[in-house]
Structure 1
Amino acid sequence: MKKIANTFITIADDCPNRQGVPPPERDGARSIARLHFDLLNDHPYEYDIDALNFEVWRLRNGLSEVEAAQHRDAFFSKGHPCMRASPLTKQYGYGAHYNASGKIAIYPVDSVAYGKLLNDPDNRVEKAMRNKRASAELAGAHPGRRPQDAHPLRHVS
């Protein structure tokens, strides 16, 4: 799989939150959204997408690190989603940044850091996947998305 690097995933066009909201804690097993949030919030830029997906799978299945290692090859024999499909970027108002090494950190849409990453010319910007089919009303401006016109920080020579 090609490594994702220098990429910023913005919130989905139909994300219901216009500020970062931590996924709720539930009784029993943590949701995928909560696991993504806990791991990336507590360990920014420590996980690449493969390590994050494997750790979430390990935790959801209640496996020790030794037990999980025995299933590593089988786990990676099939594809797994990137942060464009994460509930954090689709529902909870967090952007995801992959640094030059492919390690991930999350930023609330209402933060200064989100805006800086969104407008950083060194980042490729991609939108999170929509939760629902596109509708005509979502075609307008969006607070968590880079404007479609010229990049504000780039100078044309």
Structure 2
Amino acid sequence: MHTTNYFDTFIAVSEDTAATAATEPPTRASPSVAELTYRMIAENPYRFTSDDVIFAVWADRRDIPAGERESARAEFFAKGQPCMRSSDLGKRYGWGVHADAEGRIALVPVESEEYERMATGEGGVTVTRAMRSKR
């Protein structure tokens, strides 16, 4: 079984982001992956792991019923999936992602003091970056 979870890790915004301040992904008639991901994490900081968020967004967009989600999750993670480093939240919208010791995640705005502290590895977190948008 594959996982996208990180532990004691901070995912800083990508090197090529144009964002100087964090913004919410725009609301659309059919919510984007970034919008659903943002909403789930912002409304529940340090409640869900990356696996929880990525699977829930995928399942919600496909209208998978609650009774089928356990088997769908096992099938979903039977192969590797893109992690939070590939999310538009860090590539485009200016959000860092912090994973605590239990793998639960929260968003950190790029312009905040908390972001600056975490981006230096303060507190023993491993620092990585969101993937670049361009090669």
Output the TM-score relative to the length of structure 2: 0.91
- CA distance in 2 between partners of 1:43 and 1:121 (Å): 22
- Give yes or no for the alignment of 1:109 onto 2:110: yes
1:6 equivalent in structure 2: 8
Give the CA deviation at 1:117: 1.6
Moved more, 47-56 or 64-73: 64-73
- CA distance in 1 between partners of 2:130 and 2:76 (Å): 24
The aligned runs of 1:127-142 (5 Å cut-off) are 127-133=129-135
Structure 1 gap ranges (5+): 134-157
- CA distance in 2 between partners of 1:42 and 1:7 (Å): 20
- CA distance in 2 between partners of 1:22 and 1:113 (Å): 18
2:95 equivalent in structure 1: 94
The aligned runs of 1:1-157 (5 Å cut-off) are 1=2, 3-27=5-29, 29-119=30-120, 120-133=122-135
The superposition leaves residues 80-130 of structure 1 with CA deviations (integer Å, 9 ceiling, x where unpaired) of 111111110011000000101111101110112211222314111101100
- CA distance in 2 between partners of 1:31 and 1:89 (Å): 15
Moved more, 66-75 or 16-25: 66-75
- CA distance in 2 between partners of 1:72 and 1:110 (Å): 35
- CA distance in 1 between partners of 2:47 and 2:65 (Å): 20
SS of the aligned residue for 1:73 comes to: helix
User: Which structure has the greater CA radius of gyration?
Assistant: 1
SS of the aligned residue for 1:95 comes to: strand
Which structure has more RCO (C-alpha within 8 Å, separation ≥ 6)? Answer: 2
- Structure with greater proportional helix content: 2
Give the CA deviation at 1:4: 1.7
- CA distance in 2 between partners of 1:102 and 1:111 (Å): 22
Would you say how many aligned residue pairs link Structure 1 and Structure 2? 132
The percent of aligned pairs where both chains have the same amino acid is: 36
Structure 2 gap ranges (5+): none
Moved more, 64-73 or 48-57: 64-73
